[in-house]
């Protein structure tokens, strides 16, 4: 599927093309480009809208936030609460979160004074799980299709807009769900200071890569005036930007004009990522032998790991392991996906943890296998930020 810049409908200048094997989608061609008018970076060739919609509607991803929230999630929610308390004279009484993998966020808003907390969640399984919380009203739909008469003091979209084909349409629908002077909290990955970005920053689930200026242009085009901007570069897995904005009757559109800077950032990132993959490929030579090998992780990292390194040629890969029940018995390329049970694995094999963001949690889960003779290989420095490969 070929797409243009959603802000200006301009054809992109393409800089990166990949042919990757994915879980669920199979083999696909993915391209990344930049809008010559505003400098917005996005997927110019991507998986079809229909396939992605089915993926988000049906697939329940295995992440710890669906149950017990991670430490990072708790820190993030507390940061958002602090921002809202600072930026809103009265704490919001009605809160709508767009897409949520847990109830923790809205629970904290409820504890701090919100009377009504609701969520829009397109995933059927997640919506059903969230509905078990009596204090949360769940709308099993997408923001692009929403039709609600109620108005909300605060709408929260954290790490949502980068997944949507048309973020402007989504924010215009948010605009309809609010009165003048009600607030919006938006957080997305920030494509700045790319030296802090991991090797798998550009991937198939993120359709858009915002700079501060392109995000502000998006917000003002939707009718929101930015009030507060916060950037985080190093204390998160990749850079984030958080903006609180207010719905206004009329807002002057702030055009980004970010082409030259973002073109340089994109070129620098592509060079940096390719250099990172070469280092990983070289590092793997230390462990090359004929023993059976398994990759642990069937997420975003693995298709690129198989594409950019010679791991499939250097090692005798038997299969891929993943903890997500929805992925088990599926495939990535020619490799089937197994549950993490030793009875399915050949004795004294090698396990390569094929993940950047989940490396530490996977290692903690399987480190006991070392006592059974398995060799566990991690690709990144232990207990360090992902960029340190």
Q: What is the pLDDT of residues 23-63, one digit of tens each?
A: 999 999 999 999 999 999 999 999 998 998 888 776 655 44
pLDDT at 291 over 60: yes
What is the domain count for the chain? 2
For residue 16, the cross-strand partners are: 32
Q: What is the pLDDT of residues 73-97, one digit of tens each?
A: 889 999 999 999 999 999 999 999 9
Judge if 217 and 338 occupy the same domain. no
Per-position DSSP letters for 98-150, written without gaps between them: ES-S-SHHHHHHHHTT-SEEEEE---HHHHHHHTTSTTEEEE-S-GGG-----
Judge if 233 and 304 occupy the same domain. no
Compute φ and ψ for 360, nearest 5 degrees: -65, -45
CA distance 250 to 253: 9
Distances in whole angstroms, Cα of residue 237 to Cα of each of 172, 246, 290: 30, 28, 34
3-state percent helix, strand, coil for the chain, nearest multiple of 5: 35, 25, 40
What CATH number does residue 251 fall under? 3.40.50.150
Domain stops at, among 200, 234, 266: 266
Tokens of 253: 């559109």
Least confident of 31-40, 198-207, 229-238: 229-238
Q: Is 28 inside any structural domain?
A: no
Judge if 257 and 150 occupy the same domain. yes
CA distance 238 to 231: 11
Boundaries of domain holding 233: 42-266
Q: Contact, 80 vs 101, CB < 8 A? A: no
Q: Contact, 326 vs 350, CB < 8 A? A: no
Compute φ and ψ for 347, nearest 5 degrees: -60, 145
Q: Is 280 inside any structural domain?
A: no
CA distance 57 to 121: 9
Q: Average pLDDT over the chain, rounded to whole?
A: 92
Determine if the pTM surpasses 0.85. Answer: yes
Tokens of 389: 């490969």
Domain stops at, among 266, 299, 328: 266
DSSP category for residue 371: G
């Amino acid at each position: 599927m070929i797409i243009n810049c959603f802000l200006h409908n301009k054809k992109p200048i393409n800089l990166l093309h990949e042919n990757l094997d994915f879980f669920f989608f199979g083999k696909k061609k993915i391209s990344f480009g930049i809008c010559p008018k505003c400098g917005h970076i996005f997927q110019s060739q991507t998986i079809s809208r229909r396939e992605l919609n089915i993926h988000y509607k049906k697939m329940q991803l295995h992440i710890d936030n669906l149950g017990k929230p991670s430490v990072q999630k708790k820190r993030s929610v507390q940061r958002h609460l602090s921002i809202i308390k600072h930026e809103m004279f009265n704490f919001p009484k009605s809160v709508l979160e767009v897409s949520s993998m847990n109830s923790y966020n809205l629970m904290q808003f409820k504890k701090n004074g919100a009377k009504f907390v609701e969520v829009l969640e397109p995933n059927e399984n997640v919506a059903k799980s969230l509905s078990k919380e009596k204090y949360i009203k769940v709308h099993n739909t997408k923001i692009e299709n929403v039709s609600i008469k109620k108005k909300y003091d605060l709408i929260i979209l954290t790490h949502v807009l980068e997944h949507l084909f048309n973020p402007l349409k989504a924010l215009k629908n948010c605009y309809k769900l609010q009165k003048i002077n009600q607030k919006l909290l938006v957080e997305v990955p920030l494509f700045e200071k790319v030296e802090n970005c991991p090797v798998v920053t550009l991937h198939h689930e993120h359709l858009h890569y915002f700079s501060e200026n392109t995000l502000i242009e998006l917000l003002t085009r939707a009718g929101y005036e930015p009030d507060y901007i916060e950037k985080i570069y190093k204390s998160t897995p990749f850079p984030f930007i958080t903006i609180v904005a207010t719905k206004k009757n009329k807002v002057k559109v702030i055009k980004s004009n970010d082409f030259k800077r973002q073109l340089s950032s994109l070129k620098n990132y592509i060079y940096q990522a390719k250099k990172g993959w070469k280092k990983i490929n070289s590092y793997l030579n230390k462990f090359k032998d004929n023993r059976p090998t398994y990759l642990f992780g069937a997420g975003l990292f693995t298709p690129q790991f198989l594409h950019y390194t010679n791991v499939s040629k250097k090692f005798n890969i038997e299969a891929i392991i993943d903890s997500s029940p929805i992925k088990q018995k599926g495939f990535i390329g020619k490799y089937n996906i197994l549950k993490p049970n030793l009875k399915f694995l050949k004795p004294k094999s090698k396990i390569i943890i094929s993940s950047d963001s989940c490396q530490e949690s996977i290692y903690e889960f399987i480190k006991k296998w070392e006592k059974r003779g398995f060799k566990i290989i991690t690709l990144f420095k232990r207990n360090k930020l992902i960029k340190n490969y």
